[in-house]
A and B are shown apart, each in its own frame.
Chain A
């Protein structure tokens, strides 16, 4: 009845238009201001501060989690930083090809490879700037009775053997020995590596090359680190750290093990391997353990060197502090240190980075090196120690050295709020001093530290669960759920010879927990047999025919029903 019903819509659209128009006007104003500012800056270079511009960088996906967080934090202050990851190798290549303003890489430019004669160096002048510390973590996906296994401990040698295809099954005695006799399922190990050139892989292979040279050389065919992992055997390759993580967490990931920065496993809520350090403790890459380890990193302090501030980690791998995580390292930003318009290289390239871009980079890094470091711990990294933050600021000063209009006032280390600092003492690392001692159950020959959340049943009391020891069988719900507890036990007795004789323990078919006391030893061994006898293959053609029949039925039955319904309707209409 009301003729004016469209009125609200009209007014709505009108207000929308007005909003749009006012927004357009304000956008124009902003644009005009920007243009004026740029003109002003060009006219008088001594102006206080060049405006920010959007800067872009590529590189490490190892430190991408924390760096992306920093770029989001500074976006509130008008700094536009686009960081797209892509792997350290890509970052270095993009930087030297003058494509990006900065790069992030785990390893420095590698120079000329003695074997391949490949050039990995930059004619474009640059400086390294440490941005964050962290641990290269080995994450895994092993299920027992549908539950994710946690608290897995491995020695460095075992990890190396897994990634060099020497250990190919989770029930390998060496893995059980590392875990103090804890039983693992009979499950093939599938290592997941990166398909792109990766700094994570470079750090990981550098560690294998130094700590277990014989195993690594045998596998790789020569010595040295590599950014492109050689894919052999059961190994699979996935693009990017998130690709590796996605594969491991997928439903197909049971039995996989991969190398990523700790942050990725934390984000996905997946466990990481506790790796044995030289003192015999198995540890995760927490911010404390990484900080302790990196007190042993040899930092290049030769300011005239191209490799100033880069790391040599040999002593980290062998550090005997019980709190050390051996696979710790720093991540580096590569910043351009040539003045705008400077020519470099042979192909007539010139530095294109403007004063505004330098200012944006300097302010981003001021935030990252100071306040941003307090976020390192929660995000799965470890903050930089004071001496490296200081050195980082010295490197940032090179931006001002080539361009006077870059404003670095009020941006120095005294303004920082960094959890590793000890007031008044530069050489000390607060985080490394307050780092807690490892738990006793994380020591070689003890434990493992199984908490309620650890998943999987409790560990045996002693390291006696070798073949022949007590190993009660459990139903494997995924594969033999219908068989029920008793049947599964019987099947395992028939077919699961590898786990030794099955004892008479009763298994709850739903939880997979042991109900009755086991016969031998009396230990609360939760070893779960995952071996079931192979299904009889005799029925295969019958099942194949049945499946084909079902497929045909699925396709045909709805159509036939529709046809019948239509005929019935026609017959009804006709009569």
Chain B
């Protein structure tokens, strides 16, 4: 018996991949386009604000050039307009605010996440969120009427005992029998304290969110190895949350730079280039705009908007940086357990 092998090749249909379209169809398509355009609107609005400020700023920048950034005086009557002292004041107020808000926000977030009883937790979270809901003029009044009398005393104490540090110096005699309280009021320090209360909830909620995402595996691993609660925080929560800490702080910093009405109420505007936050008189970009906007002539308005443009650019830069840091921190990179 012979076996005849079939010679012809079998008629095999080649396996061509079926066409897979990644283009959404139907309602998916509508949804995609819809959400994309909503997202774009946000970008367009932000870009529009930037563009508007840039256009308004153009005549001023052309007229004053780079002197606008290096001049300290703001005296349109004598053609001297610059925002160096104002920028320094803005940074001082924001730094003071962050010096107070950062440790408070970090400790609050850790306490709420790690130590507070679950029943307490939601209450505490809503209390912190409530702080964000308080209008900023309330913080201004709080700072002016309630805190200023005491904080000027704190300023005097800092000057008296730590005055050898240049940034705690005040041009006054802290040991005088009748100390000159006016020199310690309306300062960047007091404005910074009021602003710190406003930025605290923002920093705190970002940090809390990130801390709650610390991987439970590592957390339990640390506990199994005999770590105390503080040990878990140090070896798991903080390393995993580092991005959130940085990001939350920078978001808060961005807001602190732009805080307006509370600062207007507290400070006494001055255009001296000073690095002494305890001393009376300072100015911030937003307070300058709020204070001078009402009665500005067109040329002054353009100068004010230019100051606003500079602040816009700085804040945008800081927030972008913060957003980048937060988004990169999700992976938990940088942990070495």
Contact = CB atoms under 8 A, between A and B. Distances in A.
Interface in B146-205: 148-149, 152, 157, 160-162, 173, 175-178, 180-182, 184-186
Nearest to B281: A236
Interface residues of B, number: 38
Interface stretch (A83-91, A285-293, A318-326, A407-415): A83-91
A231 B176 CA distance: 25
User: Which of B77, B180, B186, B265: most chain A Cβ within 10 A?
Assistant: B77
B265 A87 contact: no
Interface residues of A, number: 54
Nearest to A115: B77
A237 interface: yes
Interface string A236-257: 1111000100110011111110
Contacts of A186: 178
A252 B175 contact: no
B149 A250 contact: yes
A460 to B, nearest CB: 22
Nearest to A88: B295
Contacts of B162: 544
A239 B177 contact: no
Contacts of A535: 175, 177
Contacts of A532: 177-178
Interface string B267-311: 011100000000011000000000110111111100000000000
B149 A187 contact: no
B123 to A, nearest CB: 20
A544 B148 CA distance: 22
A236 B280 CA distance: 8
A115 to B, nearest CB: 7
A561 B295 CA distance: 59
A234 interface: yes
Nearest to A243: B265
Contact of B182 (A92, A190, A196, A537): A190
B103 to A, nearest CB: 12
Contact of B295 (A197, A254, A530): A197
Given A115-B77, A534-B176, A239 B264 contact: yes
Nearest to B181: A252
B215 interface: no
A402 interface: no
Contact of A239 (B265, B280, B297): B265
Interface in A210-256: 227, 231, 234, 236-239, 243, 246-247, 250-256
User: Which of B161, B182, B297: most chain A Cβ within 10 A?
Assistant: B182
A119 interface: yes
A479 interface: yes
A196 B186 CA distance: 16
B144 interface: yes
A409 to B, nearest CB: 38
Given A251-B149, A540-B160, A90 B180 contact: no
A93 B294 contact: yes
B174 to A, nearest CB: 10
User: Which of A186, A247, A252, A253: most chain B Cβ within 10 A?
Assistant: A252
A119 to B, nearest CB: 6
A255 B182 contact: yes
Contacts of B181: 251-252, 254
Contact of A476 (B173, B177, B296): B177
Given A253-B182, A256-B182, A532-B177, 12 more contacts: A89-B294, A115-B77, A116-B77, A195-B291, A196-B291, A231-B269, A236-B280, A237-B268, A246-B145, A252-B182, A533-B177, A544-B162
Interface of B: 76-77, 144-145, 148-149, 152, 157, 160-162, 173, 175-178, 180-182, 184-186, 264-265, 268-270, 280-281, 291-292, 294-300
24 contacts: A92-B295, A93-B295, A119-B297, A119-B298, A185-B178, A186-B178, A187-B178, A188-B180, A196-B295, A227-B295, A236-B182, A236-B281, A237-B268, A247-B185, A252-B182, A254-B181, A476-B178, A530-B177, A533-B177, A534-B173, A534-B175, A535-B175, A535-B177, A540-B161
